Amino acid sequence: MDTPEHNRDETGNNRDETGNGLVKLLEKQKKDLVIRVLKKHEELQAGKEFTNKILTSLSEIFFLLDKDFYVVQSNKEFNSCLGYTPDWNHPLHLEQLVGREHYDMVVDAIAAGECNITEIFLQAENGREIPVTLKGSTYVTESGRVLHMFIASDKSDFYKMMTRMREVQDQLTHSARLASLGEMAAGIGHELSQPLNAILLLSRNCLKAMQTPLHHQKMIEENLSIIIDRVNKASSIINSLKSFATKARDTMVPVNINSILLDILQFFESQLTLSDIGLDLDLDTRHTIEVMGQEVKLEQVFFNLIQNAILSLGKTSQPRLAISTGIQESINPATLKEEPYARITVRDNGEGIPREIQEKIFDPFFTTRAAGSGMGLGLSIVDRIVRGFNGYIRVDSAPNAGTSFTVFLPAHQGDNIAA
């Protein structure tokens, strides 16, 4: 039988006491470990809940991809906007979301470090394309897991607003065109009355000459030829009015600027003659001055500029109107690269525009005319149309020194641009 002496170790300590102390120490360490694990779990759960709350409150479309570009997490906005139901057994792939044509672009952008695409479409489950701006970056976890995070901003409302703005702009352009027609009613009346009076006079001459047709055969033939010419002149005026009053179509085609200017000047021919306005025409014939645009809208631009120039010459003793075209290199505001531009200048030697007014002439509804004589939309719409075709306008004017409006439009790229 063991005696108390046998339960002591070499140091004299009781073995049972030592064992009990070791057990207590191990139990304490186990308890501490459990507590730490529970705290870590709570922290992870709290972090997960916090992350989920952030994702739920996020108004943007959020989705998380693994290294193979499969969706591993998404927020409520992603599911509601795109219509997908989360199915982690059959996860979505990035190619399904952005389409084959944009997939490589997104992958290359994220591989370069950061994805920032201003215009792309996400494919909804029902096949609808949603315009978005897409931002993404890559994150590597402590365990080495690669995750690609993306945030997409839905631009559907913005696109709808832009479409509506274009519709409103087209309506304003059309209204301004009709207003311009109203302002020119007197001039148009003169344009039509001139050939009609000539036709009436020559017809009466022919009737008288028909009493002795053999003696007046040559005169009858000449009168009939002039009558035909005057009828064609009146028809061209009416056709010009129809064309000018028609709403612009959205189709972009190569437009010959020189031809437009010549047609508009034919429209103003009688007004220039009646007002004794000299015309200096310097249209570049070395190149075909073409731009991509809509003919009716470009007619509106140059019609307004020429009409304003003519109106400014009312108090000038020797009024002159100068119009020139050409091709020159200019900086494209969109690309900041030097590109060939069509240059169209309308210059007059009229009363000029004061410096303080020059800053306002392109504002909507601003006008220097008397009340009731214009809506003040002309130059505002001119500016919008030109900028809509990626062009711009320069104004050079001073009081009593005339005004020069120069329109720059990207030249249609073709063989005709070469010098």
What residues contact residue 205 under an 8 Å CB cut-off, 6+ apart?
219, 223
What pLDDT shows up at residue 406? 94
Q: With contact defined as beta carbons under 8 Å apart, do 274 and 313 qualify?
A: no
Residue 132 β-bridge partners: 120, 154
* Cβ 409 vs Cβ 291: under 8 Å: yes
Taking the C-alpha atoms of residue 117 and residue 139, their distance in angstroms, rounded to an integer, is 19
DSSP tally for the chain: helices H, then strands E: 11, 12
Q: How confident is the model at residue 188 (pLDDT cuts 50, 70, 90)?
A: low
CB atoms within 10 A of CB 408: 22
- Residue 145 confidence (pLDDT): 84
Residue 369 dihedral angles phi and psi, to the nearest 5°: -80, 165
Instruction: Return d(Cα 267, Cα 270) in angstroms, integer.
Output: 8
CA–CA distance, 62 with 77 (Å, rounded to integer):
7
Quote the percentage of the chain above a pLDDT of 90. Answer: 12
pLDDT tens, position by position, 198-248: 677 778 878 878 888 777 788 888 878 888 877 876 776 666 556 555 544
Q: How confident is the model at residue 275 (pLDDT cuts 50, 70, 90)?
A: confident
Predicted local distance difference test score (pLDDT) of residue 356:
77
Over range 89-111, report the average pLDDT.
86
For residues 4-19, give the mean pLDDT: 55
Res 180: pLDDT: 57
Q: Which residue has the higher pLDDT, 173 or 208?
A: 208
Place of tokens 């701006």: 133
The C-alpha atoms of residue 152 and residue 135 are separated, in whole angstroms, by 6
Short-list 152, 156, 158, 159, CA closest to 106:
152
pLDDT of residue 231: 81
Note the pLDDT tens digit of each residue in 117-155.
878 888 888 888 888 888 888 888 777 888 888 888 888
Q: Among 49-53, 303-307, 392-396, whose mean pLDDT is lowest? A: 49-53
Mean pLDDT, rounded, of the chain: 76
pLDDT level of residue 52 (50, 70, 90 thresholds) = low
